[in-house]
């Protein structure tokens, strides 16, 4: 069987996770994660490249040693180093690690402190109060772990995975089905652009449902068939993801898509509204007794309720129904509104592409500007810049800008906020920049009060522009910082600062709830990629999806401005 890009990415990430649990060299772990991150943005089929004897070591973030490991995965379907680690680390421990509240570091701590090696042992420890006594956990985290275990059990042990991973896993199946079904559309939490999904819900039209379902269940990468019927079937693919298909007639497609897209809470609210009006709503349409009133399009169904069309990202029953009834839904920001990217790295620190390569790629995307924000010196693992090296980079950017037309590289830095709230580089060099992006990478375990005070103090520096990945979370790997985000947002507004939605699929930070809070408090947002290669400049679409879930409009996002408009905003 061919090895998909996603399987290569997953094996490299699994290797990094296991090395993380073992406490191995962080530089090695970072190399595997960087390689996985780089490959997740590659659209070409890696297996085909290797079979053609293409040099994959030329891909961003992939050197000779890493390319040998990738070739081993493609040739054998496995990685010997990973097989050996699986013998040392129980599979059940890896299962724990995949729970959203844990990740490799927390799994390691629980294994060392409480000798937890399985989901059952984890549950017992959470229920008995042992976990909340472990440093860095607490009662709230223990409760979240229990909630997640309960959901995991109800779903038969299926773990939520990042939406971007799910897309890569299921894409070949969608390509296989695309010319065999009409109106094939992904619904569910995937269509709502949630950060993580548990399965993939498909809705489609077919003139011959039995034949369509036979094709669906006969796909050569189906590992097992959960259920099979003429209108609904469920399978699990070899890659481990569950895919459900619902077939309807063409005149019912809109209702089926709407019914399969909204959250449970959103759908229940609509059904309740229907009942209050002596109507009935189901996956086939909205009815008055036996008379079908609307079903062909989603817009028709919403119109029957006297409301605006509700974009999929908003269908969470968080006020969107009331807003739609009053014709007050936001006009959500769109990917086409973005004029530039305000957070990107080069090979001068831990990026995989040069300054020139990043600029050329950004200009090729139709951008007007790109901020180069390499790390400051505190981030030694990334070979962060000191003042002298930053000064040389400023000169290099000036030189390159003199050669570019209708495009500008913004001179910038991702500077660390130190423990006392000062910035990692002197004001004398920061004031020479167009933009200063500030972030927390170290001293993550400060109390809520100290962490908040630290960020507030940093914002008082007149060179501070954007707070990057504000909560510091990594989805499934690292918790949020203990920080009062409402207070931070109010201080940002008072000081003319902005917060970031980091588009990296592992971060998506701010989340949708904090993004909406920022909007309500009048704090504007930068949607940026934190790109470490030319490929990862494409992450912008994930940040925009997060912004849309947070009800953000074009005016709420600073990098929808022209270059001149942006520069005016950045002046404090």
Percentages of the chain per state (helix, strand, coil), in multiples of 5: 50, 15, 35
pLDDT in tens, 187-240: 999 999 999 998 999 999 998 999 999 999 999 889 899 999 999 999 998 878
CATH number of the domain encompassing residue 261: 3.30.210.10
Backbone angles phi, psi at 204, to 5 degrees: -155, 170
| Residue-level pLDDT at 117 | 83
Residue 562 predicted with pLDDT over 90: yes
Q: What is the mean pLDDT of the chain?
A: 91
Whether residue 178 is found in the same domain as residue 284? no
Is residue 204 assigned to a domain? yes
| Residue-level pLDDT at 158 | 57
| Residue-level pLDDT at 393 | 97
Residue 156 predicted with pLDDT over 70: no
Whether residue 434 is found in the same domain as residue 478? yes
| Residue-level pLDDT at 17 | 83
- Percent pLDDT > 90 in the chain is 62
Whether residue 541 is found in the same domain as residue 562? yes
Domain residues for the domain of 183 are: 161-248
CATH number of the domain encompassing residue 371: 3.20.20.140
Q: How many domains does one find in the chain?
A: 4
| Residue-level pLDDT at 442 | 92
Of 91 and 436, the structure prediction assigns the larger pLDDT to 436
Of 432 and 50, the structure prediction assigns the larger pLDDT to 432
Of 480 and 187, the structure prediction assigns the larger pLDDT to 187
Residue 56 predicted with pLDDT over 90: no
| Residue-level pLDDT at 467 | 98
| Residue-level pLDDT at 43 | 65
Q: Which of 40-49, 164-173, 201-210 has the lowest mean pLDDT?
A: 40-49
| Residue-level pLDDT at 159 | 63
Whether residue 503 is found in the same domain as residue 392? yes
- Relative to beta strand 285-288, strand 498-502 is unpaired
Whether residue 345 is found in the same domain as residue 285? no
Whether residue 515 is found in the same domain as residue 396? yes
pLDDT in tens, 321-356: 999 999 999 999 999 999 999 999 999 998 889 999
Is residue 193 assigned to a domain? yes
Is residue 470 assigned to a domain? yes
Q: Are 20 and 47 in contact (CB under 8 A)?
A: no
Q: Are 398 and 408 in contact (CB under 8 A)?
A: no
Residue 264 predicted with pLDDT over 70: yes
The arithmetic mean of pLDDT across residues 62-80, rounded, is 87
Of 120 and 246, the structure prediction assigns the larger pLDDT to 246
Of 533 and 26, the structure prediction assigns the larger pLDDT to 533
Is residue 220 assigned to a domain? yes
> Which residues have CB under 8 Å from 75's CB, separation 6+?
50
The arithmetic mean of pLDDT across residues 500-520, rounded, is 95
* 63 pLDDT tier (thresholds 50, 70, 90): confident
Whether residue 459 is found in the same domain as residue 548? yes
CATH number of the domain encompassing residue 67: 1.10.150.110
Statement: the pTM of the whole predicted model exceeds 0.95: no
- Relative to beta strand 285-288, strand 280-282 is antiparallel
Whether residue 462 is found in the same domain as residue 343? yes
Residue 155 predicted with pLDDT over 60: no
Of 377 and 45, the structure prediction assigns the larger pLDDT to 377
Among 386, 429, 427, CA closest to 411:
429
Task: Tell me which of 325, 353, 379 is where a domain ends.
Answer: 325
Of 11 and 543, the structure prediction assigns the larger pLDDT to 543
Residue 99 predicted with pLDDT over 80: no
| Residue-level pLDDT at 556 | 98
Backbone angles phi, psi at 123, to 5 degrees: -60, -45
pLDDT in tens, 291-305: 999 889 999 999 999
* 569 pLDDT tier (thresholds 50, 70, 90): very high
CATH number of the domain encompassing residue 209: 3.30.460.10
Whether residue 259 is found in the same domain as residue 376? no
- Percent pLDDT > 70 in the chain is 97
| Residue-level pLDDT at 184 | 96
Is residue 348 assigned to a domain? yes
Whether residue 351 is found in the same domain as residue 277? no
Task: Tell me which of 261, 296, 325 is where a domain ends.
Answer: 325
Q: Residue 169 is inside which H or E element, if any?
A: helix 163-178
Handedness of CA 403, 406, 407, 408 (dihedral sign): positive
Task: Tell me which of 89, 105, 136 is where a domain ends.
Answer: 89
Tokens of 426: 């002197």
Is residue 108 assigned to a domain? no
Whether residue 265 is found in the same domain as residue 240? no
| Residue-level pLDDT at 29 | 85
Residue 183 predicted with pLDDT over 90: yes
Residue 145 predicted with pLDDT over 80: yes
Whether residue 375 is found in the same domain as residue 239? no
Among 137, 533, 64, CA closest to 341:
533
The arithmetic mean of pLDDT across residues 419-446, rounded, is 96
Q: Are 255 and 283 in contact (CB under 8 A)?
A: yes
Is residue 276 assigned to a domain? yes
Is residue 197 assigned to a domain? yes
């Amino acid at each position: 069987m061919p090895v998909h890009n996603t399987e290569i990415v997953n094996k490299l990430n699994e290797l990094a996770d296991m090395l993380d649990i073992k406490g191995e060299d962080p530089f090695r772990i970072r190399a595997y994660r960087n390689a996985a991150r780089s490959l997740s943005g590659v659209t070409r089929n890696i297996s085909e490249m290797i079979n053609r004897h293409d040099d994959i070591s030329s891909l961003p973030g992939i050197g000779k040693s890493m390319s040998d490991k990738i070739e081993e995965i493609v040739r054998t379907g496995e990685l010997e180093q990973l097989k050996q680690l699986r013998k040392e680390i129980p599979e059940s421990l890896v299962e724990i690690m995949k729970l959203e509240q844990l990740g490799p570091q927390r799994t390691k701590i629980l294994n060392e402190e409480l000798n937890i090696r399985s989901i059952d042992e984890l549950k017992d420890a959470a229920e008995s109060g042992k976990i909340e006594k472990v440093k860095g956990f607490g009662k709230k985290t223990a409760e979240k772990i229990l909630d997640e275990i309960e959901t995991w059990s109800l779903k038969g042990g299926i773990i939520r995975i990042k939406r971007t991973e799910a897309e890569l896993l299921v894409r070949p199946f969608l390509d296989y089905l695309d010319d065999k079904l009409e109106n094939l559309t992904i619904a569910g939490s995937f269509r709502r652009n949630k950060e993580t999904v548990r399965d993939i819900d498909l809705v489609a039209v077919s003139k011959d449902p039995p034949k369509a379902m036979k094709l669906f269940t006969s796909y050569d990468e189906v590992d097992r068939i959960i259920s099979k019927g003429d209108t609904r079937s469920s399978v699990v693919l070899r890659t481990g993801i569950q895919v459900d298909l619902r077939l309807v007639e063409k005149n019912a497609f809109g209702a089926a898509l709407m019914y399969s897209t909204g959250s449970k809470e959103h759908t229940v609210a609509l059904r309740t509204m229907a009942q209050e009006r002596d109507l009935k709503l189901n996956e086939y349409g909205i009815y008055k007794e036996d008379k079908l009133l609307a079903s062909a399009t989603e817009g028709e169904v919403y119109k029957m309720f006297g409301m605006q069309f509700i974009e999929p990202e908003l269908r969470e029953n968080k006020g969107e129904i009331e807003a739609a009834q009053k014709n007050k839904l936001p006009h959500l920001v769109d990917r086409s509104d973005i004029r530039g990217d305000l957070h990107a790295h080069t090979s001068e620190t831990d990026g995989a592409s040069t300054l020139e390569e990043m600029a050329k790629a950004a200009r090729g995307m139709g951008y007007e500007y790109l901020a180069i924000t390499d790390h400051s010196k505190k981030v030694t693992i990334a070979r962060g810049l000191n003042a002298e090296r930053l000064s040389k980079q400023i000169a290099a950017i000036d030189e390159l800008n003199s050669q570019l037309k209708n495009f500008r590289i913004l001179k910038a830095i991702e500077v660390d906020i130190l423990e006392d709230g000062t910035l990692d580089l002197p004001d004398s060099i920061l004031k020479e920049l167009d933009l200063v992006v500030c972030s927390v990478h170290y001293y993550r375990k400060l109390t809520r009060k100290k962490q908040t005070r630290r960020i507030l103090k940093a914002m008082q520096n007149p060179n501070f522009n954007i707070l990057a990945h504000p909560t510091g979370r990594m989805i499934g790997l690292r918790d949020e910082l203990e920080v009062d985000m409402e207070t931070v947002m109010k201080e940002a507004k008072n000081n003319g600062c902005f917060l970031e939605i980091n588009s990296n699929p592992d971060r998506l930070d701010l989340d949708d709830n904090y993004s909406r809070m920022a909007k309500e408090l009048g704090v504007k947002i930068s949607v940026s990629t934190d790109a470490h290669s030319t490929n990862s400049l494409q992450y912008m679409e994930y940040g925009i999806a997060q912004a849309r879930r947070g009800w953000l409009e074009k005016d709420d996002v600073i990098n929808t401005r022209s270059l001149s408009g942006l520069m005016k905003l950045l002046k404090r």
